[in-house]
Amino acid sequence: MNPKYENPELTTSEPYVMGSHATGCGAWCSGPEDLSPPEYFWGYNRMMTVEGLFGAGDAVGGTPHAFSSGSFTEGRLSAKAACQYIDDGKGEGIRVSQEQIDRRRAEIYKPMDHYQVYRNEITAGSVNPNYINPRQGLDRLQKLMDEYGGGVTVSYMTNDELLNIGLKKMKLLEEDLDKVAASDLHELLRAWELKHRMRTSECVLQHTLFRKETRWPGYYYRGDAMKLDDENWHVLTVSRRDPQTGEYTMEKAPLYHLVGDIEDKALAALKAQG
């Protein structure tokens, strides 16, 4: 068929763990020194809340302009700030022990080791009672986010109850991903990509649950809070996950319109000059 003359039987959809169009991974980073309010600048441009860790593009939050040129520019800004951090001597005294290296290596290669132990216990096709592979985990994650996080099969609709069920199922998936298996290095990459997607998806569910409004009509709707509520939710939402317990703490943070404020100040200065 020619879609120019006949409508295709397709429904376009954003991925449910969205990239640059509507959100990034959401990491919280310091803004630039010349624009940021004091509470949003902690020493170095693009430095995360983790001391010495710098990010760029989608890695530092939602922006609709973090494509090729934008990410390239942000990467340069981030790299320059990281170099300044090193030049200021902030990295001195950091030592990594062999024990730390060995522990991290064992963690990273665990999916491949798990596969080697149980690879001969496949019951049918790629089904194994002792592990799931990255593709199986990805299909499960996508289905979970679609049905509970406001995907295409539910017409982008979610609510408090669905989000809470989704979070419970996400915990079950996280437990199973402890036994994800990788048959080669490519699958190892996919296994860790899946683990990171799972954590990002969990954050998306937590933030959507916390924000009692529909902020992005067209991307998702909260059936129990259909209106965009600027009075209560024209803010940034900030979360922290406790690495020991897995519990999230959520809070609101003020949203500053930096570009608008700069333009207002420039217009005021021009008016003052006549």
What is the per-residue pLDDT across 165-182, written as a single tens digit (0 to 9) for each? 999 999 999 999 999 999
Return the CATH number of the domain spanning residue range 100-233: 1.20.58.100
For residues 56 and 47, what is the distance between their CA atoms, to the nearest angstrom? 9
Question: From CA 153, how far away is CA 232, in angstroms rounded?
Answer: 30
pTM over 0.85: no
Mention every residue, 6+ apart, whose C-beta is less than 8 A from residue 177. 132, 137, 194, 195, 198
* Helix and strand element counts for the chain (H, E): 8, 4
CA 219 to CA 25: how far, in whole Å? 16
10-63 pLDDT tens trace: 766 655 565 334 455 556 788 888 888 888 899 899 998 888 999 887 677 655
For 127-158, what is each residue's pLDDT tens digit? 999 999 999 999 999 999 999 998 888 988 99
Q: Which regions of the chain carry the CATH code 1.20.58.100? A: 100-233
The yes-or-no verdict on residue 67 having pLDDT over 90 is no
Q: Do residues 204 and 137 lie in contact, with contact meaning Cβ atoms separated by under 8 Å?
A: no
